[in-house]
Chains A and B, each alone.
Chain A
Amino acid sequence: MDKVLFSYNGVKLHLVKLSILTVFQSVMIIIQAYSLAEAISSLFGGDLFRQVVNSLLLFIIALIVRQLITGWKKTIAFQFAKKTSENLLDELMQKLFQLGPRFVRGEGSGQTITLVMEGMRRFRRYLELIFIKTMNMALIPVTILLVIFYLNIRSAVILGLAVPILIAFMILLGYAAKSKADQQYESYHLLSNHFVDSLRGLETLKYLGLSKQHIDQISLVSERYRRSTMATLKLAFLSSFAMDFFTMLSIATVAVFLGMGLINGTMELFPALTILILAPEYFLPIRELGADYHATLDGKNAGKKMEEIIAKESIVQLQVRVPIWDSTSRLAIKDLNVMFPESNQEGLQNINFSIAGVKKIGIIGASGAGKSTLIDVLGGFIPPTSGEIQLGDQKITSLSVLDWQRQVSYIPQHPYIFNDTLFNNIRFYHPNANMEEVFEAVKSAGLLEVMQDLPKGLDTIIGDGGQALSGGQEQRIALARAFIGNRPIILLDEPTAHLDIETEDELKETMLRLFDKKLVFFATHRLHWMLNMDQILVLNHGHLVERGTHIQLMEQKGTYRQLVQQQMGGIS
């Protein structure tokens, strides 16, 4: 069993409960065998059926009690797994929010979802299984073996020896199968994904005129996949073969030795039968241990993965009071550094600037220059590795401050549209907004026409699975969200690059209206926005190289001008 398992709350009590129940369970197994053997042997000895009714009744009772205990064990294991996984889920969710969007993007959104949804389920299954199995394995065979030892030493020795031999074989075969599987892993992986890959790329195949003849390829690969899978399975199944083989062989051997003993008269029928009935029960926990091997392995790994995330360093939200940003507010960034030790991504180095009052700040630079990173720092998603942030007269280490974040509207390249009504999507930041306010925001964001075109107006369900919207319309919903709360700070991360030029043109007017009297940080490649900015921060390889207005920067003939020329040079 894994050491981590012992770190969970209440695990000791759980183990104690389980072990007591398991001992009872073993006793029931023994009574069951004992009473059945007694009934049969006395019937064999010529007793009448009614003379053995008591024994048979005992057999049935033992059987029922045993089953009740099994069910009881499952129930408490489920309870324990439930409680543990709920605690873990809570920690994990808190952590995910602390780690923020950058972590999720890095891990892959899909992967994170699978990890939490599937992983949590697997982990719970693992917790349900592992304690019961281990307990059964630890207690039941030993108890049974003791009884058999008491009844007949020779049988006990045979059964006792069988287990280590069996386990040794299993380990040996397990290794062989694993190394074989490892050898083939690459080709195996390639083959098993070939079909999905073919279907996903079907459109491309069609355009290339290869889609028809690709059928042959699919059947060829399927056949190769089958052969290579079978080759691996031949080995993999050997371990359960070994398990069966040794179990059956030991039972058969015990039976034969018992038979000999009976013939020699050194043994009675009753103990012999008891042993024979107990022998399969003796092997049962060992066989079950291997049964859900993959389920438990997956669960264990999922648990490990989740613990790793929880153990990750993250920003702790600072409890600082921040006054509402207005024309007198000041933000100063001093010697700010952001480093990403895990990836090759460049961070930010020695950033210094200060902003006073409501200004529109453009952030520009080639891709990879650190624009998004700066926006993430401003949004409080990533903590600076070093440096200082001065907000008003307070010095803080990061902008992960509830009071700050509540003043921020964030408009990314692809704003997320929740699968809910248009109404609720718009008032997402301010769930208490009323109809009037939402309608006002709809008008300001230029959504009126869109709303009227939707089948149920504001009550239309949008988002994944609902009414589909174009990129421009989604962007307008993000704008409406920003309009509704009238939050004084707006962060924009490349909101228009993927839109067609006409849509961008239409949005521009709305956006400029939204920016009015607000502090705006606008990271983009699209140069026309720079004309509307009060100040431009030019980033280059993580350094803040220039700052000023468009006109000033053009005159400086530095990085900014170079960037403009590069982009406007057109295509020769």
Chain B
Amino acid sequence: MNKKKWLFPYLQQNRGLFTLSILLGALTILFGASLMFTSGYLISKAATQPESILMVYVPIVGVRTFGIGRAALSYVERLIGHSLILKILSEMRIRLYKIVEPQALFIRSRFRTGDILGVLANDIDHLQDFYLKTLFPAIVSLVIYVLIIVWAGFFSVSFAISLVLFIGLLVFVGPIVSLLYMKTKNEQIKTGRNQLYQQFTETIFGISDWIFSGHYVDMIHRYERQEQKLLDLEKKKNNFLNWRDLSNQIILGAIVLFSIYTANDLKMSGEVPGTFIAAFGLVMLSLLESFLPLAGAISDTTIYQDSVNRLESIQTAEPIQDELDEGLPSRSPISIELKGVTFSYTEKRLLDSVNIQVTQGQKIAIIGRSGSGKSTVLKLIYGALVPAGGEVTINGQKAHYLESIMPKVMAVLNQKAYLFNTSVINNIRLGNPNATDEEVYQAARMVQLDEMIRKLPNGYETNMQETGQRFSGGERQRIALARVLLQNTPVVLLDEPTVGLDPITEATLLAMMFDTLKDKTIIWVTHHLIGVDKMDRILFLDNGKIVMEGTHQQLLKNEARYRQLYALDRPFS
């Protein structure tokens, strides 16, 4: 059973709270039952018109105690249950984080789903419902089941045995039948729903195409037909649920009658007083009701299956040893070298004997069409990927062994830098957690945002999320640049940092980058040619090889292809 890996170890670790929570859950039900038992006993006893009210004093106190006790217990039980769950969720989060952290730089390419990490985070939240709505009630029901049998055993063994069977119908047979039926039904509904979801997603994202195609009305009809089919499935499911509830009720009624019959029998043989008949009937009515939600809870487990499976599928990455990471003082000049590097994700070779040498302070631009391996070169230099052939070295040491000190050597600025949901100042300070406020302001001044940030409602303390509307794409990249400036590494890797920006913003941002990073090594992957004349060297990647290399002037002079591209990109300059 694989699923134990994510679900059950946590219960073991939190044994105390778990047991307490089950105990309280059982007690809550028992108190409710005792209330009915005692009141049934109380009025039966009273009906015998005892001499003094003192005769029924104990049941009177009992009735009140059980009544109030039940409410209090249920309150405490819910609190403890939730506290336990939150604790477990917190442990799960840390575990998930520890698993994905080492794979941070390539997890996105491994799972093609855009937001796999967001999905996983939600999965963990889903498990909360599994514990609270399925697992705990199921265990509590089992406890109650056993207690009822034991209790019945005190009166009569045959009564106890019959109850094992009867209540077994509610506790085992019903839920299992329900689980089997619902498993396929839920599966069908889920498939239908996913199809519908996909269809609708396509409608929304392709809405302009649908409008221009002129046949969107057909599309609506098709969608509605499919929705109808799904609803028919749900209807079938609901019918099943109705019949399930009905049979549960019949069983419940039968058990109540049987208990009354037994109590009457026992009374006849003088084993229990007559006051117990009402008590038996009422207590069963109350106890059995606690078993009714069980079938639903058990058959819902299929809903959580996906979440568990997804969490399971996240594998632990094999750790890359960082053996030799001493002897690379981050302030010293850094020389980067790729020697005969080959690399491929699939059978198709992405990089084929690539040689690049970069010394401290050089500025390199890498150009090539999408899929030519530009970003892969950056990942190899950063040591996030291991070359299949050849080697990538930083000051003579293999790049992928340097994982732990890499952030001190190189900073990275991506297409869409991630800004965290915290204050502006915290976001910038991430570049160097030890930076003083003044240093942060200085970095913001360098990217010309200081003035603007100070005008925000809470200045530097304004939350990033609220500013989402206020900061444009260019400004967000500038914040990320400020972060990189604070990080203050000898090398900066730029991975198409201006994609999606308009030309004027692009030019301003590039000018700002080249100005603020002028003392550093820059390796810049770009899709446009603006600014390449400021580089020491331009590399053109095509089909995994470097096909052109040189300064802007050299390429302009020697390469017809480069001239053509430059004329396209900078037509009137």
Give me the interface of A with B, judged by CB distance under 8 Å. 36, 39-41, 43-44, 46, 49, 56, 59-60, 63-64, 66-68, 70-71, 74-75, 78, 82, 86, 89-90, 93-94, 96-97, 100-101, 104, 109, 112-113, 116-117, 190, 193-212, 214-215, 218-219, 222-223, 225-226, 229-230, 233-234, 237-238, 240-241, 244-245, 247-249, 251-252, 255-256, 258-263, 265, 268-269, 272-273, 276-277, 280, 366-367, 379-381, 402, 405-406, 408-410, 412, 415-416, 418-419, 428-429, 431, 463-465, 468, 470-472, 481, 497-505, 508, 525-528, 531, 564, 566-572
- What's the minimum C-beta distance from A494 to chain B, rounded to whole angstroms? 9
Asked whether, in the complex, the Cβ of B257 is within 8 Å of the Cβ of A59, the reply is yes
B483 interface residue per 8 A CB criterion: yes
Q: Tell me, in angstroms, the Cα distance from A145 to B62 when the chains sit together.
A: 25
Asked whether, in the complex, the Cβ of A93 is within 8 Å of the Cβ of B220, the reply is yes
Given A78-B238, A104-B207, A248-B35, is A265 in contact with B368 using a C-beta cutoff of 8 Å? no
Within 8 A of A (CB), among B530-573: 530-531, 533-534, 564-565, 567-573
- CB neighbours of A498 from chain B (8 A): 499-500, 527
Indicate with 1 or 0, residue by residue over B250-288, a CB within 8 angstroms of chain A CB atoms.
101110110011001101000000110110011001100
Within 8 A of A (CB), among B282-308: 282, 285-286
- CB neighbours of B420 from chain A (8 A): 197-198, 201, 204
B74 interface residue per 8 A CB criterion: yes
Q: Tell me, in angstroms, the Cα distance from A258 to B507 when the chains sit together.
A: 88
- CB neighbours of B35 from chain A (8 A): 248, 251-252
- CB neighbours of B572 from chain A (8 A): 527, 564, 568
The one of A56, A255, A406 that contacts B260, using a Cβ cutoff of 8 Å: A56
The one of B107, B220, B483 that contacts A208, using a Cβ cutoff of 8 Å: B483
Q: Secondary structure at chain A's binding surface: helix, strand, loop or mixed?
A: helix
Binds A, one of B89-97, B150-158, B163-171, B452-460: B89-97
What are 15 pairs between A and B in contact, CB < 8 Å?
A46-B274, A89-B224, A89-B227, A209-B407, A240-B75, A244-B74, A252-B68, A256-B42, A259-B46, A277-B282, A280-B36, A366-B502, A402-B214, A410-B208, A527-B571
Binds A, one of B12-20, B135-143, B197-205, B389-397: B197-205
B445 interface residue per 8 A CB criterion: no
Asked whether, in the complex, the Cβ of B573 is within 8 Å of the Cβ of A570, the reply is yes
Binds A, one of B78-86, B174-182, B516-524: B78-86
The one of A197, A248, A465, A570 that contacts B421, using a Cβ cutoff of 8 Å: A197
- CB neighbours of B344 from chain A (8 A): none
Asked whether, in the complex, the Cβ of B64 is within 8 Å of the Cβ of A472, the reply is no
- CB neighbours of A208 from chain B (8 A): 407, 411, 430-431, 483, 487
Q: Tell me, in angstroms, the Cα distance from A407 to B419 when the chains sit together.
A: 43
Asked whether, in the complex, the Cβ of B224 is within 8 Å of the Cβ of A276, the reply is no
Known pairs A222-B86, A366-B502; list 19 more (Cβ under 8 Å).
A64-B249, A78-B238, A97-B210, A101-B211, A195-B121, A200-B117, A204-B418, A215-B98, A222-B94, A248-B67, A367-B505, A416-B206, A465-B112, A501-B565, A503-B370, A505-B564, A531-B571, A564-B572, A571-B531
Indicate with 1 or 0, residue by residue over B451-470, a CB within 8 angstroms of chain A CB atoms.
00000000000010000000
Indicate with 1 or 0, residue by residue over B3-45, a CB within 8 angstroms of chain A CB atoms.
0000000000000000000000000000010011011101111
- CB neighbours of B313 from chain A (8 A): none
Q: Tell me, in angstroms, the Cα distance from A59 to B255 when the chains sit together.
A: 12
The one of B94, B216, B245 that contacts A219, using a Cβ cutoff of 8 Å: B94
- CB neighbours of B281 from chain A (8 A): 36, 40
The one of B207, B211, B239, B277 that contacts A40, using a Cβ cutoff of 8 Å: B277
Asked whether, in the complex, the Cβ of B503 is within 8 Å of the Cβ of A567, the reply is yes
Chain A, Cβ-Cβ closest to B59: A259
- What's the minimum C-beta distance from B178 to chain A, rounded to whole angstroms? 15
The one of A96, A402, A419 that contacts B198, using a Cβ cutoff of 8 Å: A419
Chain A, Cβ-Cβ closest to B216: A97
The one of B209, B210, B511, B568 that contacts A505, using a Cβ cutoff of 8 Å: B568
Q: Tell me, in angstroms, the Cα distance from A284 to B568 when the chains sit together.
A: 76
Asked whether, in the complex, the Cβ of B206 is within 8 Å of the Cβ of A431, the reply is no
Chain B, Cβ-Cβ closest to A82: B231
The one of B70, B122, B260, B265 that contacts A248, using a Cβ cutoff of 8 Å: B70
- CB neighbours of A196 from chain B (8 A): 117-118, 121-122
- CB neighbours of B531 from chain A (8 A): 570-571
B329 interface residue per 8 A CB criterion: no
Given A71-B246, A89-B224, is A218 in contact with B421 using a C-beta cutoff of 8 Å? no
Given A215-B97, A219-B94, is A255 in contact with B42 using a C-beta cutoff of 8 Å? yes
Given A104-B207, A201-B418, A498-B499, is A215 in contact with B101 using a C-beta cutoff of 8 Å? yes
B417 interface residue per 8 A CB criterion: yes
B529 interface residue per 8 A CB criterion: yes
